Structure 1
Amino acid sequence: MVRRREHFVLNEVILFKPYKNSLIMESNTRRDFIKNTLTASLAIAIGTPILLGGEAAMAAAVTDEKGSGLAPLKFTQFPLKYTYSAMEPYIDALTMEIHYTKHHTAYIKNVNDAIAAENIPYSTMKEFFDNASKLSAKARNNGGGAWNHNFFFETLKHGPSGGPQGKLKEGIVKAFGSVDKFKELFSAAAASRFGSGWAWLVNDKGTLKITSTANQDNPLFDNAEIKGVPLLGLDVWEHAYYLKYQNKRADYIANWWNVVDWDVVGKRLA
């Protein structure tokens, strides 16, 4: 039996799938990257099955194994599925490059250093975030930053953004009245977040909600004000927009809607 281990590498995604009461490893090509990384990252983060198409059970269900002897958790940076300039003119290439290669890379390194130095015992991201309030500031902030940015960069799309469709659109309309009203409320949450932080759309047990978090917190943290499965997240730290927009956060938010990959967001809810 192959030992289960949640692991992401930079150029390849590794998933572990149940098969005949054992676990086998499947290496996925970059063509399947979006579908599989979304499933795997959310499954690892929340530790519960994600349903695809409303019917099929997730192939790689992740469970907690306390005292299993698994290696400590290691955060890894996802590769981008586009070039740094792909989001022009809405997000400039230099900001994308610095954001990804400097800020995100630093979060990855710092959280892994903290896990090693502090002997943090958790082997899954679910365990890590379920105990976020007990972690050191270094581990908590950098762990959040590592996960949040993988999530954020996966939500961006080169080309026409379109809009939410299907079950996602139905959920948004049910919760907020219309897609336009949702965007208005989400934008307000992002604009009014004092200092650095994030705005989120989350699935809270079937109900869609908007929330925001300070610093690098996210709705998976055990002490989050509104907990839920993240569907959409917007980084409103100044490093995400200041080179192009300076202090005009509202302009950055308005333009960001043009590069949201609604297909990715929809799959997170499906």
Structure 2
Amino acid sequence: MESAYRTSILNWCAEIEQTWKSVRDQLDVDETKRAKWEKDFYAFKQEVEENNRFLQDVELQRSASHIYQSLSSFMTGNNESSEPHQEEVGSGVPIGGHTLPPLPYPYDALEPVISEEIMRLHHDVHHQGYVDGLNKAEKKMQEARTKGDFDLIKHWEREAAFNGSGHYLHTIFWDIMSPDGGGKPSGSLLAEIKRSFGSFDAFKKHFSEAAKKVEAVGWAILVWAPRAHRLEILTAEKHQNLTQWDTIPLLVLDVWEHAYYLQYKTKRGDYVDNWWKVVNWPAVEKRFEEAKKLKWEPF
């Protein structure tokens, strides 16, 4: 009998295959690398379809993550090339071609902090819905440009903002959690947290209280502010409202009810307090090291 995670990976393979077929000939990628990716992907897909019992869920996750990262590097142009500035050019994600990234661990990996049932619904249903909504909005706006008919452009811009923000924040959210998480960050991130907030405990208290007090549904977000040259804590209602532009998210916490209600019911505070046990600080540190390279003139 297939595990729920394997079923999810099968569905993910079907989506990735569809995306690959639609963009394959548009990508400016060496044919040898393109052929190797195809070979690796279809071999992986066959192993999942055959329900290879020698592959554990964690091994499936590693393989799926590698395949997804390779495809992403093709689509963004972040691959080795003899052409100058190749990394800056890239093909990007085609209009309406966003895909659901694979969950970077089995569904039950974050228990008891976050239940398997919540992770399945949250990733496979809710996040997929944001991907689908973003793709539809992008295609509708493309259609509007082609026809010169912008009567519904306000609606589709709102849909793109809501679903696009939902997709991008959730993609960060999965990566900044880990079954081996918890504790404190280290190195330059910890130093910057102390500089920006006074201490790690002061930061954690501020972030937790902000998350608990988000009105209705939304997020708490630790960001790097390139203009201020420091870290800030922001909140967002829904995914995109009442937050701040020109900042880079580093650590995000989803406080929509679908993220915790099945397990914690009305006790959002307990969910927030327990969530710190699964924070993947190395992933946050990696994001910070890249983000801090961007600095605008301070005003």
Decide: shared fold, TM above 0.5. yes
- How many correspondences in the alignment? 224
- SS of structure 2 residue aligned to 1:195: coil
Structure 2 residue aligned with 1:105: 128
Give 1:95's match in structure 2, choosing from 113, 118, 127: 118
Q: CA RMSD in A?
A: 3.7
Structure 1 residue aligned with 2:293: none
- The alpha carbon displacement at 1:153 in A equals 0.8
| Structure 1: 4+ residue segments shifted above 3 A | 9-12, 22-34, 59-65
> Are the equivalent residues in 2 in contact too, given 1:72–1:121 (CA < 8 A)?
no
Q: Describe how 1:11-22 pairs up with structure 2 within 5 A.
A: none
Identity level (%):
34
Higher helix share: 2
Structure 2's unaligned 5+ residue stretches are 1-10, 21-27, 42-61, 79-84, 146-153, 290-299
Structure 2 residue aligned with 1:233: 252
How far does the alpha carbon of each residue in 1:28-81 deviate from its partner, in whole angstroms, 9 at most, with x for none? 9946948x95xx79xx7xxxx9xxxxxxxxx9844599xx9x942522111012
1:166–1:73 Cα change, 3 Å: farther
Name the TM-score, length of structure 2 as normaliser. Answer: 0.64
Structure 2 residue aligned with 1:129: none
Structure 2 residue aligned with 1:84: 107
**Structure exhibiting the larger radius of gyration computed from Cα positions:** 2
Higher relative contact order (CA 8 A, sep 6+): 1
Structure 2 residue aligned with 1:157: 178
Determine the C-alpha separation between the residues in 1 that align with 2:168 and 2:239: 9
Give 1:197's match in structure 2, choosing from 211, 215, 218: 218
1:62–1:194 Cα change, 3 Å: farther
Kindly indicate whether residue 283 of structure 2 is the aligned counterpart of residue 264 of structure 1: yes
Give 1:148's match in structure 2, choosing from 150, 163, 169: 169
Structure 2 residue aligned with 1:171: 192
Kindly indicate whether residue 263 of structure 2 is the aligned counterpart of residue 244 of structure 1: yes
Determine the C-alpha separation between the residues in 1 that align with 2:287 and 2:155: 28
How far does the alpha carbon of each residue in 1:181-223 deviate from its partner, in whole angstroms, 9 at most, with x for none? 11000011111110111110011123111001111118xxxx9
Structure 2 residue aligned with 1:19: none
Determine the C-alpha separation between the residues in 2 that align with 1:253 and 1:102: 22
> Are the equivalent residues in 1 in contact too, given 2:221–2:233 (CA < 8 A)?
yes
Structure 1's unaligned 5+ residue stretches are 1-8, 15-21, 50-58, 123-132
1:64–1:31 Cα change, 3 Å: closer
Determine the C-alpha separation between the residues in 2 that align with 1:62 and 1:213: 30
Which letter maps to 2:196? A
Structure 1 residue aligned with 2:201: 180
- SS of structure 1 residue aligned to 2:251: strand
1:261–1:121 Cα change, 3 Å: farther
Determine the C-alpha separation between the residues in 1 that align with 2:234 and 2:183: 23
